[in-house]
Amino acid sequence: MQHFIQHFIVIGNPISHSKSPAIHQAFAQSVGLDIRYHRQFCPDDADSFRAVVEAFFHGGGVGANVTLPFKEIAFELCDTLSDYAKTAKAVNTLCLRDGKLYGDNTDGRGLVADLLSNGVDLQGKKIALIGAGGATRGVILPLMEQGATLSIFNRTLSKAQALKDDFAVFGEMAVYGLDDLATGDFTFDVIINATSATTTDQTLTLSPTLHATVAYDMMYGKPSPFLAHFAAQQSKTLDGYGMLINQAKLAFELWTGVNIELNRVQLPK
């Protein structure tokens, strides 16, 4: 009997920090599947991304995760999309369905699952999102589904306004420029950094009168000046590792059809 190994990748730039391979190997081990999951660095342009995706699936690959900065490029590449991917206009999970490239976005549901598992109630809460890129697009609908009220802060106000317009059918959002974070007087239940500032060693300028009960940085694996700002205020702080695990769980289940019970998984630290 032939031994079948399933192959997966995560595509990004940068990518060396990604813990996705270890997480998915742990998932597979918990349910007795034999997989190979690798990091794939890709030059930051659409043609290179397309070439990587086509080569991987042409070579028999089963599923691919997509991280910064390719989520919106992945969306453009897909033949069919989940409802979450359609509303996000961003894709973080790829596979083939009937020979067609299918895209899903598990980020937002992963974020919500992590917040809820950490005892953070979202119903009726005021939530701020910093950034208006693919990471933010992916989480707006799941947060709105939880009954949260959203505010978006972004350097380019027109991009934040475009998000507001795109999601108007689901609910109201307030939009602000990034400068308002440096000078404004705001209090939120949850504030989420959905920019790559932590990964790229950039510092967001945050006003001393900016307060939040919970601060969440979608990035993980590096010290976060963003989280440090709120830790100094005795806010609850969370990084994106729990979101990574929960969005990965949804991707793994999509690819394999096997349900993962996180309490049975030996997750990497």
- Specify if 19 maps to a domain: yes
pLDDT score at 107: 92
Distance CA 91, CA 104 (A): 5
Q: Are residues 57 and 119 in the same domain?
A: no
- Specify if 199 maps to a domain: yes
pTM: 0.88
Q: Are residues 224 and 165 in the same domain?
A: yes
pLDDT score at 198: 76
- Specify if 61 maps to a domain: yes
Q: Indicate which residues carry an active-site annotation.
A: 71
Q: Are residues 41 and 114 in the same domain?
A: no
Q: Are residues 121 and 49 in the same domain?
A: no
Residue numbers in the chain where pLDDT is lower than 50: 1
CA angle 192, 94, 66 (to 5 degrees): 40
pLDDT score at 2: 53
Range of the domain at 24: 6-106+244-259
- Specify if 68 maps to a domain: yes
Q: Are residues 251 and 212 in the same domain?
A: no
CATH code of 48's domain: 3.40.50.10860
Distance CA 241, CA 113 (A): 12
DSSP character at residue 243: H
Distance CA 34, CA 48 (A): 29
Torsion 102-30-15-7 (CA) sign = negative
Strands (E), the chain: 6-12, 35-41, 63-66, 80-81, 93-97, 100-104, 126-130, 149-154, 173-177, 186-193, 210-217, 236-239
- Specify if 267 maps to a domain: no
Q: What digits encode the pLDDT tens for the residues 183-197?
A: 989 999 999 999 987
Q: Are residues 81 and 127 in the same domain?
A: no
Q: How far is CA 103 from the centre of its chain?
A: 14
Q: Are residues 146 and 87 in the same domain?
A: no
CATH code of 184's domain: 3.40.50.720
Q: Are residues 85 and 132 in the same domain?
A: no
Q: Are residues 75 and 112 in the same domain?
A: no
- Specify if 268 maps to a domain: no
Torsion of CA 46, 51, 53, 58, to 10 degrees: 160
Q: Are residues 128 and 66 in the same domain?
A: no
Q: Are residues 99 and 129 in the same domain?
A: no
Q: Are residues 51 and 168 in the same domain?
A: no
Burial class (CB in 10 A: 0-12, 13-18, 19+), 171: middle
Total of domains in the chain? 2
CA angle 101, 107, 111 (to 5 degrees): 165
- Specify if 99 maps to a domain: yes
- Specify if 266 maps to a domain: no
Letter string b/e over residues 121-147, b meaning 16 or more CB atoms within 10 A of that residue's CB: ebeebbbbbbbbbbbbbbbbbbbbebe
Q: What digits encode the pLDDT tens for the residues 28-68?
A: 999 999 999 999 999 999 999 999 999 999 999 999 999 98
